[in-house]
Structure 1
Amino acid sequence: MSEMDALFAALRQVADRQTVECIENAVMRGSDRDLNRINALAFAKAHHLDEEKTIAALLHAARLGVFEMTWNVLCPGCGGVLDTGATLKTVDQESYHCALCAAGYEPTLDEMVEVTFTVSPRVRRIAAHDPDRLPPLEYYRQIFFSSGVDLPEDFEAIFGRILLEIIELDPGEKAFVSVRLPAQFVIIFDAVTHSAQFIDVQGEPTGERQNLSMVISRGHALSDTLTLRPGPLRIALENHTDRRVVPNICVAGDDLHHLLGSRRPFLTAKRLLTNQSFRDIYRTDTLDVDQRLKITSLTFLFTDLRGSTALYERVGDLAAFDLVRAHFRVLHEIVATEAGAVVKTIGDAVMATFPSPDRAIAAALRMREAMLQLNAEHGSDDLLLKIGIHEGPCLAVNLNDRQDYFGQTVNIASRVQGLADPNVILTTEAVVGDAHVSEILRDSGISSVSRMEELHGIGREVRIFALS
């Protein structure tokens, strides 16, 4: 058995077999481009696979060494990759600047950090393993743009319509480029160093040659926008880096904006952190102790068993332990199948996260039914589950050697659960106001009753909704 056969045999033991078959076929027969920075959601859609099973299979494949997983910081404006690293620990800057968009951004895990998978060179070598040898436009396609930019198959032809010139410069090399400036906004941009120079071309056309010098370096600072006239321009470009650079001169018009604005869903860091398979595989290797990464929207679900102490007293430690353990197993399964993850258990309580409120509500409804079924099977009402849900911003942190969350959103969710009665799901306005949640409640025939509550330690009244 070859090493590749052994790797995929091991992968089939821990991941969905149909998904593994598609991944193996892609590794064996896919194009080089298809195996670089794989977008898990796009892969699932193209092969008609379940997204959660695809994410889980790729995570297990990365752990086995079939793929290299990368965390890419993105510009929300142009979709370019501003920085990349092998772990989330490399996202350590307070802000990231995009020279192409002339804007700075504080990183959030919602839409600014993507997670992609590239086939390992030990499994199969592809062109992107040597990015400096890629043709210039292929470098832009495979290395600069994120997997969330939906580039067309005829990208080169479309980009060619706005491209005035593109060249390659080896380390230390200098070149002269002559172009004719149209009466439009023009950008000189290098995708390797993210160096940029803006040119506002306006005024009367000229027949006289204009001159411009640009030094491409790692520490390139954005220059002021130059104003030039339509007509001939001679550009002196110098590469002061130790890598090949690929500067291009293009027209920043509607064609470019349309190209950059075509987006598709991708695997965000937020979604991965709320994925049970990820938490199971990468338990302690996610964040550094000092990291505090923002998430603008995450949904928290807390559960607890009412009267568990009396349960142990009534039926004995062994029987109670088996019953509580069965309850934990069911809750874990439901959370995982609803794209969530169990962050931790505290006594008989569970703290879980979901990427969106509708997933949390779907999980809560299933949990309530599952507890009723467990109680029916045991002929008693021993498992009295209390559920509270809230959605909002938070910080992803490392607490007690575990990837955890911090902030007022977490506190509110916990306090809401504390007010819940057994078999009644309590949520906040942020949750029931979600359009997808409203649809779930309407289709399930679930009614809600609201009231104002002053939550301990919050300092203000919060409107909560009881779902029954």
Structure 2
Amino acid sequence: MNCVFTFNGTPRMVEVSSQYNPMIDEKKLEERLVVVEKAKSWSPRVVSRLEMLLRSGMDEALYRINPILFAEEKSIAEAEAVDLFLHACVAGLFDMDWLLVCPMCSDVVESFRSLRKLHTHFHCHLCQSDYDAALDDYITVTFTVSPAVRSIRFHKPDALSAWDYVFQYKLTSGGIMPDGVPWSETAKQLVRVLTRIEPGSTANLEVDATEGALLGQDFDSDAQFFFPVERGTGVTPSYVPVTLDRGKCVAAAARIAPGKVVFEVRNDGKLPVVFGVLQLPEAASQRPKLHFTPSLSGKRLLTTQTFRDFFRSEVISAAEGIAVLDVTLVFTDLKGSTALYERIGDLNAYIQVQRHFQHLLDATVRHNGAVTKTIGDAVMAAFLTSADAVQAALDMREAVDQLNRDRLQRDFILKIGVHRGAAIAVTLNERLDYFGQTVNIAARVQNLADGDEICITEEVYSAPAVAEIIAPYPVVKSEAELKGVSKAMSVYHLARMESQPANQHGDADAKTYHK
């Protein structure tokens, strides 16, 4: 069914399912879509695709939306899709959720509306396992429609059926088995009975047991029972009493053979319990390792400039910070900027330096990075990949060269250093920042660069796709001894293409630097 809606004063045809009539606040939806549309110059039909989702998507499609999957389904560039949901979140169309996801069962162990509440040590009740999360792994970011715009049943999880609570609210569909089937779909085949038990109530859960094992599980605590099911163990008891109380499970002793068995489960706690019994196969001693569909990781969000621009109040409260296993950092600095201030005056020099900052920011955003901070005339930027970082560094150098072409002399001479490694995401001076040896090395490698030179470390040089990017440029390899680093590091100096050509291997004779 096609319906006509007025958007920003213009009639628009939107396809809406005739089988579904969601509760939408039309006024708020209209007002907030206008804010998103005006936020930036979007590609054609990007906002209309979002509007169609909000109007005609089923409840499941509007709960914990994966922007990367949305981009694939709607043929939108990933970076634009991430920006779209961030702007839509700012406009009040969506709420952002930070999820801690179990790597073994894809259970959403915890979710937070703010980065400041996120912690990295978590325990999965279903797997009975503990994990330390990094921004690269196990931390993912999703978006759910705001209840002020459209009400969906997942806004009230306590009112969900036990089945929806477990398989729509608790488990994600992103964990994939080696055979390509989502783990959540496999888990559905194991469930024999699943129900919500109110405080003080008893539920008789009848199961037709087969050889293997029966697992009883409270899906919100560590309360479990486990019974092997084996032939020759005698007659299956008519029932097995089970008591649940404050996250603990006490089941009567029993030896269970294949056949019908009733678990008499009493909830002595003060809160409702979603409890299920799963039939585990005989060969369930070791669960296959899951891989996950692409999603918006915490690391990617922190290297997205739109997030840093619009969510400045987001800080990391964890005292130890949050680990980032692999990030590429770029440091830049202007050579001779002090002389520029003396020659043309503070105000004029300040204006020109701000122009230079804008060019560096544009290059950073263009290559999927974010400026972490500026320090005097220097910039620190973070990137998802080394290939993006190196391409951004080359674009920065070219942009600064363009600035110089309009001037009587070369006022701007850029020095750039690039390094890759692990870091800690922290909050310093009320700003999201990175801390650790990777940061120190990146800054010191920048100090090794001459004017118009880009220095990259071995970790960057050997990263995927970097060799192809730097192939046209003369490269000189050196051995650098950096302060605080126990052994010399290999550093590659990228000159401009019009400079002296490199040798056959792109490397000149090794030199030694001390910094």
* 1:275 paired residue number: 304
Q: Is the 8 A contact 1:74 1:114 kept in 2?
A: yes
Distance in 2 between residues matched to 1:50 and 1:458, nearest whole Å: 40
* 2:458 paired residue number: 429
Q: Is the 8 A contact 2:118 2:317 kept in 1?
A: no
* 2:6 paired residue number: none
Q: Is the 8 A contact 2:243 2:249 kept in 1?
A: no
TM-score normalised according to structure 1 size? 0.89
* 2:417 paired residue number: 388
Residue 411 of structure 1 pairs with residue 436 of structure 2: no
How much has 1:229 moved relative to structure 2?
4.8
* 2:202 paired residue number: 174
Q: Is the 8 A contact 2:213 2:280 kept in 1?
A: yes
* 2:509 paired residue number: none
* 2:263 paired residue number: 235
Which structure 2 residues correspond to residues 78-89 of structure 1 after superposition, within 5 A?
Answer: 78-89=105-116
Q: Is the 8 A contact 1:33 1:142 kept in 2?
A: yes
| Residue of structure 2 aligned with 1:128, choices 151, 154, 160 | 154
How much has 1:156 moved relative to structure 2?
8.6
* 1:138 paired residue number: 164
Distance in 2 between residues matched to 1:388 and 1:348, nearest whole Å: 14
Closer, same or farther: CA 103–220 of 1 in aligned 2, 3 Å: same
Which structure 2 residues correspond to residues 21-60 of structure 1 after superposition, within 5 A?
Answer: 21-60=48-87
How much has 1:433 moved relative to structure 2?
1.8
Aligned residues between the structures:
464
| Residue of structure 1 aligned with 2:378, choices 349, 362, 366 | 349
CA RMSD of aligned residues (A): 3.1
Which structure 2 residues correspond to residues 59-70 of structure 1 after superposition, within 5 A?
Answer: 59-70=86-97
Residue 101 of structure 1 pairs with residue 127 of structure 2: yes
Question: Larger Cα Rg: Structure 1 or Structure 2?
Answer: 2
Q: Is the 8 A contact 1:164 1:251 kept in 2?
A: no
Which structure has the highest strand share of the two? 2
Name stretches of at least 5 consecutive residues in structure 1 with no aligned partner. Answer: none
Which structure 2 residues correspond to residues 113-124 of structure 1 after superposition, within 5 A?
Answer: 113-124=139-150
Which structure 2 residues correspond to residues 296-375 of structure 1 after superposition, within 5 A?
Answer: 296-375=325-404
Could you say what secondary structure the match of 1:84 adopts?
strand
Question: Which digits, 9 at most, give the CA deviation of each residue in 1:14-59, with x for residues without a partner?
Answer: 1454332221211111111100011111111111112122212211
* 2:503 paired residue number: none
* 1:7 paired residue number: 32
Q: Is the 8 A contact 2:323 2:423 kept in 1?
A: yes
Q: Is the 8 A contact 1:415 1:455 kept in 2?
A: yes
Question: Which digits, 9 at most, give the CA deviation of each residue in 1:55-78, with x for residues without a partner?
Answer: 122112212221111111111221
Question: Which digits, 9 at most, give the CA deviation of each residue in 1:73-120, with x for residues without a partner?
Answer: 11122111111111112223x621113223211121111211111101
Question: Which digits, 9 at most, give the CA deviation of each residue in 1:418-467, with x for residues without a partner?
Answer: 1112222211122122123234334xx34543322111233432222223
Distance in 1 between residues matched to 2:78 and 2:326, nearest whole Å: 20
Closer, same or farther: CA 155–352 of 1 in aligned 2, 3 Å: closer
Distance in 2 between residues matched to 1:253 and 1:186, nearest whole Å: 10
Percent identical across equivalent pairs?
34
Which structure has the highest helix share of the two? 1
* 2:237 paired residue number: 209
Q: Is the 8 A contact 2:196 2:272 kept in 1?
A: no
Distance in 2 between residues matched to 1:256 and 1:123, nearest whole Å: 46
Could you say what secondary structure the match of 1:378 adopts?
coil
Residue 183 of structure 1 pairs with residue 211 of structure 2: yes
TM-score normalised according to structure 2 size? 0.82
Could you say what secondary structure the match of 1:171 adopts?
coil
Distance in 2 between residues matched to 1:198 and 1:448, nearest whole Å: 62
